């Protein structure tokens, strides 16, 4: 079984400050890992994904994440927060190498990011 833990439900940073959103995963097989962002009253938008290539993954809007197998982590960072980054962020895990049968995404509970002016 797979699972994702996102510690803390709310992170608040000042505009221009570093953003760090934590994600730890549990998987019996090498995972695919994803970060999604959800703005109010909208669906999920993919920020970035890890699929076994480089361990440091760059995504949209200046976000990046590093896969650390030894720590079972996939933390999301952005060097300088912008007001428009305020949203809900979800980390998700999917089994690697599945044929497609039951290739579901397992999500964490999400973290709300607030950005102070």
Partner 1 sequence: ETGVTQSPTHLIKTRGQQVTLRCSSQSGHNTVSWYQQALGQGPQFIFQYYREEENGRGNFPPRFSGLQFPNYSSELNVNALELDDSALYLCASSLRSGRAVNEQFFGPGTRLTVL
Residue numbers at the binding site for partner 1 (CB under 8 A): 4, 9, 36, 41-46, 49, 90, 92, 97-110
| CB-nearer residue toward partner 1: 17 or 72 | 72
How many Å apart are CA 4 and CA 115, to the nearest integer? Answer: 24
Q: Which residues partner with 89 through β-bridges?
A: 37, 111
Residues 6+ apart with CB under 8 A from 96: 29, 30, 31, 32, 51, 52
| CB-nearer residue toward partner 1: 38 or 77 | 38
Least Cβ distance, residue 83 to partner 1 (angstroms): 22
């Amino acid at each position: 079984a797979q699972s994702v833990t996102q510690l803390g439900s709310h992170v608040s940073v000042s505009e221009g400050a570093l953003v760090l959103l934590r994600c730890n995963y549990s998987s019996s097989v090498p995972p695919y890992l994803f970060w999604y962002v959800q703005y109010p009253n909208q669906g999920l938008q993919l920020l970035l994904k890890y699929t076994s290539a480089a361990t440091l993954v760059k995504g949209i809007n200046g976000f990046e994440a590093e896969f650390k197998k030894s720590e079972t982590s996939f933390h999301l960072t952005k060097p300088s927060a912008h007001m428009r980054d305020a949203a809900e962020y979800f980390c998700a895990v999917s089994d690697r190498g599945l044929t497609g049968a039951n290739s579901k995404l397992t999500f964490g509970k999400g973290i709300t990011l607030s950005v102070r002016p």
